[in-house]
């Protein structure tokens, strides 16, 4: 009989965060353990043991385990590319070498830019005679003997992972499927990914790259997920073991291992989902998330509490076209180093002090000043962090900033304040990528700040952008792991179907949507989701006839036939206007490119009881210390323990709110209020 | 952050914001524009300028602001949008009529001019006698398309609807044109907000102090990091366009570069007379500010590493380093008013090439070889309802070999330019892509060879008309420091009757029947360094994967391979002997190699130099250059 504990495990590069929530009582437990790069399953199991120990419970009490990871991305970034092969249509063996003929960045960089190594070297690419046309018609039958010969050659060359990407296979997957069958019969040891399964969308280079990345991480992901599941089953018996995907949903571990590319960009998803839940509790629907870690900052723009997906992502320089939460990342975090750049400029990041040696103030051997040291110098931090475990060496940090400032003719305070200003400006650039670049004014959104260093700079970042409200959720340092608790099972299905949106195609659209819905629902049922909890959402990627880029729209539920078609067109014009500021409603024709269905299996949200409630009565009284503010200098400020700011409490800045794992800075001109859900709401003016 | 003086913090935030604003404006153009030439091929430029029209951004070149001052003086107000495409009346800042330039003034408050945001992009069609507005056989600019002198498209926020209607009426693809212009104006306004926000935060004076520093920093970087790598002296170089659409001969662009401790003087005297056809480039306006900013980025090749090179922005500050001298009116770079300019991109690329060649001579050969990456080919046709289908591709070419790496394959000099996926082309246009490959042996041989060009085969599925706007179809990309020339461009049609017709690089109006198969080959990059010094293992790999033939491996690299059970292996002994024989059988290795066609033209007396102008190629390779850059 499964118990009541929902456990979530967020595996990062350095630490594995684990949270357990009792779905009956709402009690919440959080622990951290060191990650294990080679086999993440070991740290995963250790972390679960640790959190159960803290809760005084056993494996029997676990009802559900959710796992999110950034390690699949690491597998790509650190992986040897050896042993990956590719089969393509005859005439296209240079597909990966050619890529899109792009040279990044500036004009004339083609003189000096060196193309990066390809995921698959040319000698491991083979052509197979066959040809399918854009409408799915077969122009040339598949030469099966040639497939077997090519595979034999590649295996002899040491290939153990093989991607298959044939032209127009999104329109007709028969040839790829047949190749899959032949390979399974002849080479059962070979890991194989078919592009028509991984990403049935047009654009052959991007589809091939996504398929290559999928097959590349397959052995690694399957192995560690399999190990984790076996170990958990051995101790707890069969329990749902769900894996976070790039689209913000979860799937079973088995399904995740089949299409591991969908795990690749799932790292920041937990935090975004956690931020959405905090905003929901605060009654706010439009937010920009600011997730500041040690080396980088992830930002996402959320409207109507709904994540927006993009398929324009890259890992290193490799495109990954799977739907993922639209996130921008900038290389500024709490551990980012301050340094003297070209032309004697004052730079912050992207190089970071990381966990080792870390900031100077941590006293673990760091010698170069960081953002964290700057905040330390200005007394934004208490004397020690993480509940007293880490005593800050303020004097060393100050000495470093005296040196650093001298190089610019600044005193230590000015230099430290400057480093925070430059760091904030870096985060501002990331927010503009997801807002103004897409036609949104950030001033209309609430900034939700989390991660260890998020609440430190949030108000300063907001100032740059004309934003006047910042939300800091409870336990901002653990929000990503918490976010894993509030997700749903999601499957994205897509099929390319290119056609003008004219009345004659309404029935075709219905047929395809229905097929996708049935396939999606069947997948969820197979994963144990009850019928009542299944929801299917129709969508389409459309464009004005002649454009090369599509806009994704959702189509209201319950519509079929002509009304569904009309709704799709109307939604397209509206979305185009929203993104670009103009549309051609009634003036230009619209065509559909892809039809999509998202099948969602709703998981019930656990209630959770704020740790602050219990602590409230015993919370320490406010204290006072001097804090430095640019333009004002040092002034005495009130320092609050977060637990003391009970719902309804409101205090004016300048001040600092401290808690385990995060520090909330409230600059002059801002005030902070605790809302009924224990969120801190910072407002300006 | 209250402040009254510019300090390092303010400067860093201002610099970073302007740099990211450039990226932001680019993203806005790209997302909303309609012409594939802008959206996919990325043929557009954006820029932010100060109130004096000085360019602040530096990822790429831009147009100029001077036409606004010249035509409107003080009549510059919030809500104005300036607009032009006139190659001559824009002080040479729009090279050809398909480039439509949009400029928005930026104000702080109602009356304090802070600067300008500008976008110009290559639109699909602005009229003229050939779809796509780049006719090959045209005698003046009025045949190339609609010419718009600097006008106000918006006057204090009010759209000049009449002008807009005239523009639209003159395009074969009016809905593309309208979408492009809307996107460019929207993007300029977005960029404008970045500057006003900075003025709000730091004050106008601090901001303008920041502009000065950004411009000075560019000049300082070039002076301190790049100029010391160039030996002081006077160096000449020249290169050629092979045809003007009417006459096939060498049209030379000539350069005398004088390098002193802290400046570079570029003198184009000796450049051939203006052409009858559209290969002229009107740059002798406004002290050559446009071309100085255009050529400056070549210097980045001398940075300590390719990564560092990519960081160096070239803005208005380059004018402090590069001076320019033009010949009198009437040459390829100083054409008389009204001469056609549509295919000026050949000579615009030549300009970079002759600067790089002169720098190669001044650095002991430590510059990249030549590459040619802008050419357009296409098929246009009309469907049964008369609707125009314009399929055009800007196909890249092999990148240059350089002292630190082989040339990258099929690159495009325009950043982030993308080719058209076969799966897109086949959905959208009546074509079938039979194959898309790298062209074997096309890369110029070298210790670091050039990159490979394309070999693309496309079948037309209905009656259509072919156009090709390509130079370097006979002349080759030159090799540097003993590296060999790459292979030139080619285009041919295989007809249904079994015949094959080879076409010149510059042609339009070629009828194509259904099922005719067109093959396009693009240029390989020039090689760098002596091919006999190339690591034999790298030659072996290229042979094994079919990029270099066994014959070329022997001939160009002196590498002999054998096949053992299907595996390609190096015959060490034979290779050593062959390399020795090749080495002893040749004389001094020349610094430059321009390929067989050039040699034959020269031998036939087809290269006539001005009096007193000696052969700039008369210099030898530096056999073992000191530690190469990068």
Chain A CB contacts of B419 under 8 Å are 98, 100-101
Average pLDDT, chain B: 94
The per-residue pLDDT for A465 is 94
**Which of A170, A346, A432 is closest, CB to CB, to B8?**
A346
User: Which positions in chain B touch A579 (Cβ < 8 Å)?
Assistant: 31
What's the rounded mean pLDDT across residues B289-300?
96
Structure tokens at A680: 């801190």
Residue B224 Cα, gap to closest chain A Cα (Å): 10
Name which residue leads in pLDDT, A129 or A486: A129
Residue A479: is its pLDDT beyond 70?
A: yes
Return d(Cα A430, Cα A330) in angstroms, integer. Answer: 6
Query: Which pLDDT band holds residue A321 (cuts at 50, 70, 90)?
Result: confident
pLDDT at residue B265 greater than cutoff 50: yes
Positive or negative: CA dihedral A616, A618, A622, A623 = negative
- Which of B3, B13, B201, B442 to mutate to test binding with chain A, by most A CBs within 10 Å of its CB? B13
**Average confidence (pLDDT) over B458-470:** 97
CA distance A457 to A467: 13
Query: Measuring CA to CA, how many Å separate A39 from each of A71, A225, A361?
Result: 10, 9, 32
Residue B1 pLDDT > 70: no
Which residues of chain A lie closer than 8 angstroms to B16, CB-CB? 422, 425-426, 429
Q: Are B540 and B559 in contact (CB under 8 A)?
A: yes
pLDDT of residue A425: 94
What structural domains and CATH numbers belong to chain A? 5-73+221-263 (3.30.420.40), 77-202 (no CATH), 268-481 (3.30.420.40), 488-601 (3.30.1490), 611-684 (no CATH)
Q: What is the pLDDT of residues B415-454, one digit of tens each?
A: 888 899 999 999 889 999 999 999 999 999 999 999 999 9
Identify whether the C-beta of residue B500 lies closer than 8 Å to the C-beta of residue B416: no
List CB contacts (< 8 A) between B436 and chain A.
91-92, 94-95, 98
* Contact indicator for A166, A175 with CB cutoff of 8 Å: yes
Among A residues 147-186, those touching chain B with beta carbons less than 8 Å apart: 167-168, 170
pLDDT band at A78 (very low <50, low <70, confident <90, very high): low
Going by pLDDT thresholds of 50, 70 and 90, the confidence category of residue A643 is confident
Chain B contacts of A104, Cβ < 8 Å? 310, 415-416
C-alpha B125/C-alpha A348 separation (Å) is 45
DSSP state of A520: H
**pLDDT digits over A29-59, tens only?**
888 888 887 788 999 999 999 999 999 999 9
Q: Chain A residue with minimal CA distance to B224? A: A343
**Cβ atoms within 10 Å, residue B378:** 21
pLDDT tens digits along A442-469: 999 999 999 888 999 999 999 999 999 9
Asked if pLDDT for residue A77 goes beyond 70, the answer is no
Torsion on CA atoms B295, B296, B300, B301, rounded to nearest 10: 30
Residue ranges of domains in chain B: 8-222, 368-530+589-594
Q: Flag if A168 and B423 touch (Cβ within 8 Å).
A: yes
Indicate yes or no: CB of B11 within 8 angstroms of CB of A345.
yes
Output the DSSP codes for B438-485.
E-TT-SPPSSB-----EEEEEEESS-EEEEEE-S-SSS-PPEETTPPP
Task: Please name the residues between 71 and 100 in chain A that touch chain B, using a CB distance below 8 Å.
Answer: 90-95, 97-98, 100
Residues in chain B within 8 Å Cβ distance of A92:
422, 435-437
Check CB contact of A338 with chain B, cutoff 8 Å.
Answer: no
pLDDT at B447: 98
Sequence-distant (≥ 6) Cβ neighbours of residue B374 within 8 angstroms: B345, B346, B349, B394, B412, B413, B414
Whether the Cβ atoms of residue A464 and residue A428 lie closer than 8 Å to each other: yes
* Token pair recorded at residue B352: 């970079």
Per-residue pLDDT, averaged over A375-396, amounts to 88
Gap between the Cα atoms of B218 and B374, Å rounded = 28
> For the whole model, what pTM was predicted?
0.92
Average pLDDT over residues A51-76: 85
Question: What residues of chain A lie within 8 A of the CB of B176, using their CB?
Answer: 546
Q: Which chain B residue lies closest to A577 (C-alpha atoms)?
A: B32
Reference A266, options A479, A10, A537; nearest CA is A10
DSSP 8-class letter at B377: E
pLDDT digit string, tens, across residues B59-74? 878 889 999 999 999 9
What is the pLDDT, as a whole number, of residue A625?
Answer: 94
- Partner residue facing A110 (CB), from B7, B373, B433: B373
User: Which pLDDT band, with edges at 50, 70 and 90, does B624 fall under?
Assistant: low
Altogether, the residues listed in chain B come to a count of 630
% of residues, chain A, pLDDT over 70: 95
| B574-605: pLDDT as tens digits | 999 999 999 999 989 999 999 999 999 999 99
In A372-441, DSSP assigns E strands to 384-385, 390-391
Dmax over CA atoms of chain B, in Å, equals 80
CA-CA distance, B322 to B324, in Å (whole number)?
7
Chain A residues in contact with B399 (beta carbon < 8 A) = 110-111, 113
With contact defined as beta carbons under 8 Å apart, do A305 and A317 qualify?
Answer: no
Chain A 433-452, residues with CB within 8 Å of chain B CB atoms: 433, 436-438
d(CA B525, CA B401): 7
In chain B, the percentage of residues whose pLDDT exceeds 70 is 98
* pLDDT higher than 70, residue A617: no
Residue B600 CA to residue B615 CA, distance in Å, equals: 16
Cα–Cα distance, B148 to B161 (Å, whole number) = 15
Q: Which two tokens stand for residue A264?
A: 């690749």
Q: pLDDT category, B630, cuts 50, 70, 90?
A: very low
In this structure, what token pair is assigned to residue B3?
A: 């402040």
Q: Which of B397, B290, B398 is nearest to B344 (CA)?
A: B290
Give B346-387 pLDDT, tens digit per residue: 999 999 999 999 999 999 999 999 999 889 999 999 988 888
- Window from A463-477, A509-523, B341-355, B612-626 with minimum mean pLDDT: B612-626
**Structure tokens, A49:** 């043991």
Banded model confidence at residue B625, pLDDT cuts 50, 70, 90: low
Which H or E run includes B563? Answer: strand B561-564
Are residues A347 and B12, on separate chains, in Cβ contact within 8 Å? yes
Can you give the pLDDT at residue B628?
42
Of residues B4 and B318, the one with the higher pLDDT is B318
Residue A111 and residue B298: Cβ atoms within 8 Å? yes
Residue A614 has pLDDT above 60, yes or no: no
Q: What is the DSSP string of A90-113?
A: TT-TTHHHHTT----SSTTGGGT-
Count of A-B CB contacts under 8 Å: 243
The residue that leads in pLDDT, A558 or A449, is A449
For the stretch B477-520, pLDDT in tens is 999 999 999 999 999 999 999 999 999 999 999 999 999 999 99
Name the region of B180 (left: φ>0; alpha: ψ -120 to 50; beta: rest): alpha
Best probe of the B interface among A88, A94, A417, by most B CBs < 10 A, is A94
Tokens 């020795």, located at residue: B580
Strands B517-521, B490-494: parallel, antiparallel or unpaired by DSSP?
Answer: antiparallel
Among the residue ranges A43-52, A292-301, A549-558, B337-346, the one predicted with the least confidence is A549-558
Q: Stretch A389-414: mean pLDDT, rounded? A: 94
């Amino acid at each position: 009989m499964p118990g009541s504990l929902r456990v979530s495990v967020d595996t990062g590069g350095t630490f594995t965060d684990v949270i357990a929530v009792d779905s009956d009582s709402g009690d919440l437990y959080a622990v951290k353990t060191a990650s294990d790069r080679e086999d993440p399953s070991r740290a995963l199991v250790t972390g679960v043991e640790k959190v159960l120990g803290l809760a005084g419970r056993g494996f029997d009490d676990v009802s559900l385990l959710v796992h999110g990871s950034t390690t699949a991305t690491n597998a790509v970034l650190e992986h040897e590319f050896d042993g990956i092969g590719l089969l393509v249509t005859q005439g296209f063996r240079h597909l990966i070498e050619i890529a899109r003929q792009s040279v990044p960045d500036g004009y004339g960089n083609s003189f000096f830019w060196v193309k990066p190594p390809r995921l698959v070297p040319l000698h491991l690419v083979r052509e197979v005679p066959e040809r399918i046309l854009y409408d799915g018609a077969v122009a040339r039958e598949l030469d099966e003997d040639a497939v077997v010969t090519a595979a034999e050659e590649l295996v002899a060359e040491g290939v153990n992972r093989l991607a298959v990407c044939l032209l127009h296979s999104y329109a007709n997957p028969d040839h790829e499927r047949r190749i899959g069958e032949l390979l399974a019969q002849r080479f059962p040891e070979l890991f194989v990914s078919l592009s028509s399964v991984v990403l049935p969308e047009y654009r052959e280079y991007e589809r091939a790259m996504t398929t290559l990345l999928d097959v590349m991480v397959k052995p690694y992901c399957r192995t560690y997920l399999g190990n984790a599941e076996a170990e958990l089953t051995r101790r707890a018996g069969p329990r749902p073991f769900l894996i976070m995907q790039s689209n913000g949903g979860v799937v079973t571990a088995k399904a995740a291992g089949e299409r591991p590319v969908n795990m690749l960009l799932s790292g920041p998803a937990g935090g975004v989902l956690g931020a959405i839940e905090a905003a929901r509790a605060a009654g706010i629907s439009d937010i920009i998330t600011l997730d500041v870690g040690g080396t980088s900052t992830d930002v996402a723009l959320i409207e109507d509490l709904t994540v927006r997906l993009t398929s324009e992502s890259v890992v290193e320089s490799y495109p990954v076209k799977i739907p993922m939460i639209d996130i921008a990342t900038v290389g500024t975090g709490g551990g980012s180093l301050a340094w003297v750049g070209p032309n004697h400029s004052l730079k912050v990041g992207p190089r970071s002090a990381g966990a080792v040696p870390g900031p100077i103030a941590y006293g673990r051997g760091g010698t170069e000043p960081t953002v964290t040291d700057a905040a330390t110098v200005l007394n934004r931090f208490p004397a020690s962090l993480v509940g007293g475990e880490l005593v800050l060496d303020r004097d060393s940090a100050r000495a470093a900033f005296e040196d650093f400032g001298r190089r610019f003719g600044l005193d230590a305070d000015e230099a430290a304040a400057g480093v925070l200003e430059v760091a904030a400006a870096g985060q501002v650039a990331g927010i503009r990528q997801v807002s103004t670049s897409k036609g949104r004014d950030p001033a209309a959104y609430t900034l939700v700040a989390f991660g260890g260093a998020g609440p430190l700079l949030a108000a300063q970042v907001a100032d740059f952008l004309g934003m006047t409200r910042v939300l800091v959720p409870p336990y901002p340092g653990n929000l990503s792991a918490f976010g894993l608790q509030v997700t749903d099972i999601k499957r994205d299905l897509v099929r390319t179907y290119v056609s003008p949106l004219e009345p004659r195609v309404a029935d075709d659209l219905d047929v395809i949507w229905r097929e996708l819905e049935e396939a999606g629902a069947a997948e969820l049922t197979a994963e144990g989701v009850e019928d009542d909890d299944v929801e299917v959402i129709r969508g389409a990627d459309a464009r004005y006839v002649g454009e090369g880029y599509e806009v994704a729209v959702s189509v209201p539920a319950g519509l079929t036939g002509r009304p569904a078609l009309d709704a799709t067109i109307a939604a397209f014009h509206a979305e185009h206007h929203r993104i670009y500021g103009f549309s051609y409603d009634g003036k230009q024709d619209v065509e559909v490119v892809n039809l999509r269905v998202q099948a969602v299996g709703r998981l019930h949200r656990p209630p959770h009881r704020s740790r602050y409630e219990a602590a409230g009565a015993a919370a320490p009284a406010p204290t006072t210390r001097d804090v430095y503010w640019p333009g004002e200098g040092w002034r005495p400020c009130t320092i609050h323990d977060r637990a003391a700011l009970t719902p309804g409490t409101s205090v004016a800045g300048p001040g600092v709110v401290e808690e385990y794992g995060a520090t909330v800075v409230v600059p002059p001109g801002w005030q902070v209020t605790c809302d009924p859900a224990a969120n801190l709401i910072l407002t300006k003016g | 952050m209250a402040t009254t003086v510019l300090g390092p913090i303010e400067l860093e935030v201002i610099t970073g914001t302007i740099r990211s604003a450039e990226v932001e404006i680019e993203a806005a153009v790209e997302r909303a524009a309609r012409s594939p030439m802008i959206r996919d091929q990325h043929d557009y430029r954006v820029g932010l300028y100060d109130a004096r029209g000085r360019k602040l951004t530096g990822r790429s070149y831009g147009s100029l602001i001077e036409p606004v001052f010249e035509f409107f003086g003080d009549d510059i107000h919030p809500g104005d949008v300036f607009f032009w495409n006139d190659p001559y009346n824009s002080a040479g800042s729009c090279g050809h009529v398909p480039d439509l330039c949009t400029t928005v003034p930026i104000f702080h408050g109602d009356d304090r001019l802070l600067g300008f945001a500008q976008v110009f992009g290559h639109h699909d069609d602005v009229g003229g006698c050939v779809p796509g507005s780049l006719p090959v056989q045209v005698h003046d600019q009025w045949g190339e398309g609609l010419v718009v002198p600097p006008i106000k498209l918006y006057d204090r926020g009010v759209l000049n609807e009449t002008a807009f209607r005239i523009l639209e009426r003159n395009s074969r693809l009016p809905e593309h044109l309208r979408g492009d212009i809307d996107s460019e104006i929207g993007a300029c306004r977005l960029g404008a907000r970045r500057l006003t926000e900075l003025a709000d935060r730091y004050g106008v004076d601090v901001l303008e102090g920041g502009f000065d520093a950004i411009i000075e920093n560019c000049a300082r970087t070039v002076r301190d990091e790049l100029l010391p790598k160039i030996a002081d002296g006077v160096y000449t170089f020249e290169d050629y366009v092979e045809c003007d659409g009417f006459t096939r001969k060498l049209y030379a662009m000539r350069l005398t570069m004088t390098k002193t401790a802290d400046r570079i003087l570029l003198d184009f005297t000796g450049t051939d007379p203006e052409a009858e056809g559209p290969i002229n480039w009107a740059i002798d306006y406004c002290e050559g500010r446009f071309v100085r900013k255009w050529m400056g980025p070549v210097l980045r090749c001398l940075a300590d590493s390719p990564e560092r090179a990519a960081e160096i922005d070239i803005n208005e500050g380059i004018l402090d380093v590069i001076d320019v001298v033009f010949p009198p009116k009437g040459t390829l770079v100083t054409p008389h008013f009204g001469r056609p300019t549509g295919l000026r991109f050949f000579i615009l690329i030549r300009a970079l090439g002759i600067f790089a060649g002169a720098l190669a001579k001044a650095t002991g050969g430590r510059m990249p070889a030549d590459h040619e990456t802008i050419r357009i080919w296409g098929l246009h046709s009309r469907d049964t309802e008369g609707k125009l289908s314009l399929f055009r591709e800007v196909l890249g070419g092999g990148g240059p070999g350089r002292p630190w790496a082989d040339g990258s394959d099929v690159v495009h000099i325009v950043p982030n330019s993308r080719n058209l996926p076969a799966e897109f082309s086949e959905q959208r246009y009546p074509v079938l892509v039979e194959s898309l490959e790298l062209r074997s042996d096309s890369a110029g041989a070298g210790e670091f060879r050039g990159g490979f060009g394309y070999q693309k085969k496309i079948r037309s599925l209905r009656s259509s008309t072919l156009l090709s706007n390509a130079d370097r179809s006979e002349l080759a990309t030159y090799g540097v420091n003993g590296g060999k020339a790459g292979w030139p461009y080619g285009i041919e049609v295989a007809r249904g009757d079994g015949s094959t017709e080879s076409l010149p690089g510059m042609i339009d109006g070629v009828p194509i029947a259904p099922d005719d198969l067109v093959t396009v080959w693009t240029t390989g990059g020039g090689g760098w360094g002596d091919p006999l010094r190339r690591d034999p293992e790298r030659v072996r790999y290229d042979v094994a994967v079919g990029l270099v033939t066994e014959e070329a491996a022997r001939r160009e690299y002196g590498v002999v391979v054998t096949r053992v059970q299907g595996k390609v292996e190096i015959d060490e002994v034979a290779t050593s002997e062959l390399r020795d024989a090749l080495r002893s059988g040749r004389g001094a290795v020349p610094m430059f190699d321009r390929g067989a066609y050039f040699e034959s033209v020269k031998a036939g007396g087809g290269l006539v130099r001005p009096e007193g102008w000696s052969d700039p190629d008369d210099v030898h390779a530096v056999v073992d250059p000191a530690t190469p850059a990068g």
